[in-house]
A = this chain, B = another copy of it.
Amino acid sequence: MANETVKIPQATAKRLPLYYRFLKNLHSSGKQRVSSAELSEAVKVDSATIRRDFSYFGALGKKGYGYNVNYLLSFFRKTLDQDELTKVALIGVGNLGTAFLHYNFLKNNNTKIEVAFDVDEGKVGKTIGEVPIFHMDDMDKQIVAADIQVAILTVPAPVAQPITDRLVQANVKGILNFTPARLNVPAAIRVHHIDLAVELQSLVYFLKHYPTETEE
C-alpha cells in the first residue's frame, strides 16, 4: 500500500494537503499554470521548499513555464488518495465533537465521519450533520464491521486511554487526539495530537518572549 519508491520527508508530507487545497482553488478559478513563486505567496512556504517538495515526486514542472495546474492537481489527487474515501469514527459528541460533526471535513477531503459514539443517553440515537450517534457499548463491534481505520477522539481526558485501547483492539490505525492525554499505543498505530490549550499557551509565550520575531 506504500507506493512511493523514496520515502517523502515528514515535513513535506504534512504540506501536501495544503498544496492540494490551493491547487483546487486555482483550478476552480480557471487558472492553467502556476509558478512556485505564486504558490509560495499563497501558502506561505518558501518557493525553494515547494520546488524541493514537488521534486520528491519527480520533475512535475517545466522550466521557464512553471507547473500545469491540471496535471499537478491530478497527480496530487492520486498521491493523496483523493479517490478513495477514508471512513472515520468520532468518539465523544461534546462541544468539539459536535462542531466536527457539523463540519465533517467533506468540503475538502477524502475523509468522512461515518459514525459517532458517546455514553450520553440524551445523545445516543440522534443524528448530527447526518452522522448517527451510537452508544459506546456498540463501538467496538461497529468499527470492526464498518472497517473503520481512523478515529477522532474528543472525549474527556481521563477516559482517553481506555478508549484508545479499545480502538486499537478494533483495528483502528490512526487517531486524531484532541484530549490533553498522551496516549500509549503500539508502534504501528499513528497518533496525531492536536492540543488546543497548548497551542494557545505557546502562542502567548512567543508573544511575550520573542516580541518582534517571525515564524511558522
Contact = CB atoms under 8 A, between A and B. Distances in A.
A86 B174 contact: no
A137 interface: no
Nearest to A178: B196
Interface stretch (A30-38, A47-55, A102-110): A102-110
Majority SS of interface residues in chain A? mixed
A180 B150 contact: no
A165 interface: no
Given A173-B207, A207-B173, A199 B188 contact: no
**Protomer copies:** 2
Interface residues of A, number: 71
A109 B174 contact: no
B109 A201 contact: yes
B194 A109 contact: no
Contact of A190 (B196, B197, B203): B203
A105 B187 CA distance: 31
Q: Which of A1, A194, A208 has the most CB of B within 10 A?
A: A208
19 contacts: A10-B206, A13-B205, A14-B202, A16-B201, A17-B197, A18-B198, A21-B198, A80-B205, A81-B205, A81-B208, A95-B99, A150-B203, A150-B204, A174-B203, A174-B206, A190-B203, A190-B206, A190-B213, A192-B199
